[in-house]
Amino acid sequence: MKVTVKSWTGVATWRWVANDDNCGICRMPFDSCCPDCKLPGDDCPLVWGACSHCFHIHCIVKWLHSQPQQQCPMCRQDWKFNNK
Amino acid sequence: MAQNINPHYASSSNPAKQNEDTIKLKDNHAVSKRLQKELMELMRCADKGISAFPESENLFKWIGTINGPQETVYAGHKYKLSLEFPNSYPYAPPMVKFITPCFHPNVDTCGLICLDILKDKWTALYDVRTVLLSIQSLLAEPNTHSPLNQQASYLWPNQPAYKKYVDEFYNKHRDS
């Protein structure tokens, strides 16, 4: 039997690789976006701190801006962005 | 009619105000979303001895209840609290107050609570559940070094006398 492929459609899925399902700050799933964004993905990325805790970038930036000290809301260590 | 509006007015005063309003609405929306999640979570896995529910259709004001922890002077008591969420929640803590009068070293006569996690030790990871659990453990383990209620702090070391007083206080004020 001989098959001729006339057309095909590719489908891809993606997900963030994080050690948790939800952002602890907004409680939205990491694979969804923060409440201020409309679309998940590169426009609402996740960031990790040096302490290994992970949040939506918009959520952690909003938290750091609202505080006198720049600490991780999970472990209270000084927050440093982990550029891995 | 709309065409007759002076464009200078329309461009100078309105957009700024509109912008402010949309920011506020957007924030409110995010807070509602988080509060709804918390409510669902609380209803899904109810903890023993604490509960909370919005007071009315306004999601920004809740009523919580805490059962006095077992094997403490507060055992058998049930305390109502009010929780009010600011537009900046969870970046700022909720305002939590006892509605049922509570005789306790760290609670004043207006029901205000002295608890670090409701002030400078607040983090956006706390929620209604952890706040109520923290207040429940505060009942069992008061901080007698910086009391809001001096009398309660002074009486605390004498647990039998404290128990007697707190029972009488509770029975007298529980319905007020």
| Residue length of chain A | 84
Contact status, residue B27 vs residue B87, Cβ threshold 8 Å: yes
Give the ipTM of the model, two decimals please: 0.81
B123 touches chain A (CB under 8 A): yes
Among B92, B35, B125, B91, residue whose Cα is nearest residue A54? B125
User: Which pLDDT score, from 0 to 100, does residue B110 have?
Assistant: 94
Q: Which chain B residue has the Cα nearest residue A67?
A: B91
Per-residue pLDDT of chain B (176 residues; tens, 9 = 90+): 444 444 444 444 444 444 555 555 566 888 999 999 999 999 888 788 999 999 998 999 999 999 999 999 999 999 999 999 999 999 999 999 999 999 999 999 999 999 999 999 999 999 999 999 999 999 999 998 889 999 999 999 999 999 999 999 999 988 76
- Domain residues for A5? 1-84
Tell me the one-letter amino acid at B148. Answer: L
For residue range B74-116, list pLDDT tens digits in order: 999 999 999 999 999 999 999 999 999 999 999 999 999 999 9
Cα separation of A6 and A13, whole Å? 24
The residues of B carrying an active-site annotation are: 114
All residues of chain A having their beta carbon less than 8 Å from the beta carbon of residue B92 are 66
Helices (H), B13-102: 14-44
The structural domains of chain B, ordered by start, are 23-171 (3.10.110.10)
CATH number at residue A59: 3.30.40.10
Instruction: Give kind and range of the element (H or E) at residue B83.
Output: strand B78-84
Q: Count of domains in chain A? A: 1
Residues 72 through 101 of chain B touching chain A, CB cutoff 8 Å: 88, 90-92
> How near does any CA of chain A get to the CA of B165, in Å?
39
Residues 2 through 41 of chain B touching chain A, CB cutoff 8 Å: 26, 29-30, 33-34, 37-38
All residues of chain A having their beta carbon less than 8 Å from the beta carbon of residue B125 are 24-25, 73-74
Contact A35 B34 (CB under 8 A): yes
> Can you list the residues of chain A whose pLDDT is less than 70?
84
Q: Give the pTM.
A: 0.82
